[in-house]
Amino acid sequence: MIKVQNISKTYQDVDRQVTVFKDLSFDLNAGETVALMGQSGSGKSTLLHLLGGFDTVSSGDIIVNDANITTMNDNQLSLFRRNQLGMIFQQYNIIPSLTALDNITFVRRLIGLPAVDEDTEQLIDVLGLRDRLDHYPAQLSGGEQQRVATARALAAKPSMILADEPTGNLDEETAAQVMELLVKAVELNAVTLLLVTHSQTTANYLQSTWRLKKGVLHC
């Protein structure tokens, strides 16, 4: 359960202020999957970053499973990320020095879970990464890297996944593949998913579509 209450985000530049949005509020229930759409520059990424605690709000509260992440210190925020959050970026952002498998299982191992359990095995198969486990990111194609990033986001069984244009760099076919796998895995574990996309096709995989326009969220 994610409760967003009156959040504002203003970037303070040297000579000017950019207010991305003001007094934004919404709830996101456990297991809900939402596509977030909107023009480039409308603040979609910013919103995602705030929800993941990667950026700080100018005002307002974000309450994830009864904990207010806007007031957390670094240590609490880290625990929140490793235990509850799965993040998928447009640029994959997987650790280049680790193999696909080590990347996928990294957060699990960080938490102290066994590197691989049955679900992980299933995830690997579902995402079609079985043959690629020993490969390093540099040896993988863009689609494969994105699937590794997706597997990593899911492997530690987070309660929510934030995905910023995960298919933006992929061709239609691969994009469809990744989306199917993602949605399947998310539904399997009742994970909350907020996914930014420009593609209506991609949005159609999810339960609902929200639009961000001039700082206002149209649910």
Ligand X SMILES: Nc1ncnc2c1ncn2[C@@H]1O[C@H](COP(=O)(O)OP(=O)(O)O)[C@@H](O)[C@H]1O
Binding mask 39-78 for ligand X (x = CB under 6 A): -xxxxxxx--------------------------------
Contact stretch for ligand X (CB under 6 A) within 13-21, 70-78, 180-188, 201-209 = 13-21
**By the rule CB under 6 A, 97 interacts with ligand X:** no
Which residues does residue 59 pair with via DSSP β-bridges, in sequence order?
A: 8
Nearer to ligand X, 43 or 86 (CB): 43
Cβ burial, residue 129 (10 Å; 0-12/13-18/19+) = buried
Phi, psi at 14, each rounded to 5°: -60, -50
DSSP assignment letter at 183: H
Contact stretch for other proteins (CB under 8 A) within 99-107, 188-196, 200-208, 209-217 = 99-107
Nearer to other proteins, 99 or 209 (CB): 99
Strands 216-218 and 67-68 come out as unpaired
Using CB distances below 5 to 8 A depending on partner kind, what does residue 42 bind out of other proteins, ligand X, Mg ion, none? ligand X
Angle value at C-alpha 211, between 28 and 167, nearest 5 degrees = 85
> Could you tell me if 213 and 40 are in contact, meaning their C-beta atoms sit under 8 angstroms apart?
no
Q: Rounded CA gap, 14 and 39, in Å?
A: 25
> Could you tell me if 102 and 148 are in contact, meaning their C-beta atoms sit under 8 angstroms apart?
no
> Could you tell me if 59 and 48 are in contact, meaning their C-beta atoms sit under 8 angstroms apart?
no
Least distance in angstroms from the C-beta of 94 to other proteins: 8
**By the rule CB under 5 A, 167 interacts with Mg ion:** no
Least distance in angstroms from the C-beta of 199 to ligand X: 14
Instruction: Tell me which residues in 143-172 interact with other proteins (CB under 8 A).
Output: 152
Q: How many CB atoms lie within 10 A of CB 195?
A: 28
Binding residues for Mg ion, rule: CB under 5 A, are 45
Binding residues for ligand X, rule: CB under 6 A, are 11, 13, 18, 20, 38, 40-46
Binding residues for other proteins, rule: CB under 8 A, are 49, 52-56, 74-75, 77-83, 85, 87, 93-98, 102, 105-107, 109-110, 115, 136, 138, 152
